[in-house]
Copies of this chain bind each other. A is one copy, B any other.
Amino acid sequence: MIYNECILFHGLTYTELKMLDTFAEQKKIAAGKYLFDQNSPSDNVYNVISGSVTVERISSNGRRQIIGILYPGDFLGITNSDHYDYAVRSLTDAELYQFNRKRLYGLAKEVPHLKANIDQISSTIFARILDHLYILGQKKAHERLCFLFIQLLERQPGATPERIDLIVSRQDMADYLGLTIETVSRSLAKLKNDGVIAIPSLNHLNILDLDAVKELADT
């Protein structure tokens, strides 16, 4: 059990942690690979240790919606269904902890603290999805981008307003925000012209006017 700061483990006894450990596995995945596909059986719950992954849904006609961008500490695969209704792809080389779902849920029945932690995680995910839903329904392109910036700033390790590493491609931004890549490009240009942000290099974002970004992103 090398990753102990995880919310899943809060308040558990040493014995309980040891039991978790019996069905936890460490998993590595290369950048751009899929951890699992949409509709595959929901055998495991994962916890991101390092790197970054996206949760995405692809429809029969090829349109893709990115549902979430996950960082170390984040969970995925928590569901009551017997299959995932999304796929998970790595943005970077990534390491994850993999827990057998059935056994994790079984243990959670015995250990109230563990169950409470899982519920807390679900609740956080739900709140994020609601924000995202609102953004997609009501916001214009440049506002959606600001929403993304705030997400990156708040959640990406090491991010500061002065420097945020854009590990997502323009296409990923588009798929996360329900836009096309060209609209993303143009909206970035607009925000640059307005002096709200700067993009010193392709994959570096500098938020010049944080208040403006927050205002535009506001849910």
Find residues 43-99 in chain A having any chain B CB closer than 8 Å to their own CB: 57, 59-61, 63-65, 67, 79-81, 85-86
Q: Could you mark each residue 120-136 of chain A with 1 if its beta carbon is under 8 Å from any beta carbon of chain B, else 0?
A: 10110011011011101
In the complex the two chains form, is B127's CB within 8 Å of A65's CB? Answer: no
Asked whether, in the complex, the Cβ of B127 is within 8 Å of the Cβ of A129, the reply is no
* A133-B136, A138-B65 known; A120+B80 contact, CB < 8 A: yes
Which residues on the B side are within 8 Å of A190 (C-beta)? none
A119 at the interface (CB under 8 A from B): yes
Q: Residues of A within 8 Å of B, CB-based: how many?
A: 35
Q: Is A209 an interface residue (CB 8 A)?
A: no
Return A189 CB to nearest CB of chain B, in Å. 22
| CB pair B120 A129 closer than 8 Å | no
**B136-A137 in contact (CB<8A):** yes
Tell me, in angstroms, the Cα distance from A80 to B117 when the chains sit together. 11
Within 8 Å of chain B (Cβ to Cβ): is A195? no
A137–B81 contact, CB under 8 A?
no
B residues less than 8 Å from A65 (CB atoms):
133-134, 137-138
Residue A22 CB within 8 A of the other chain: no
This chain: copies in complex: 2
Whether, in the assembled complex, A178 has its beta carbon less than 8 Å from a beta carbon of chain B, the answer is yes
Q: Tell me whether B130 and A130 are in contact (CB under 8 A).
A: no
Residues of B close to A126: CB separation below 8 A = 79, 122, 126, 129
Q: What is the bound-complex CA distance between A60 and B112, given in angstroms? A: 39
What B residues does A178 contact at CB under 8 A?
A: 136-138
Once the chains are docked, how many angstroms separate the CA of A218 from the CA of B60? 8
Contacts of A80 in B (CB 8 A): 119-120, 122-123
Q: CB within 8 Å of B: which of A162-194?
A: 175, 177-178
C-alpha gap A60/B120 in the complex (Å): 27
A-B contact pairs, 22 of them (CB 8 A): A59-B219, A63-B138, A64-B138, A65-B133, A65-B134, A65-B137, A67-B133, A79-B123, A80-B120, A80-B123, A85-B127, A86-B130, A109-B112, A122-B122, A129-B133, A132-B133, A133-B133, A136-B136, A137-B175, A137-B177, A137-B178, A138-B178
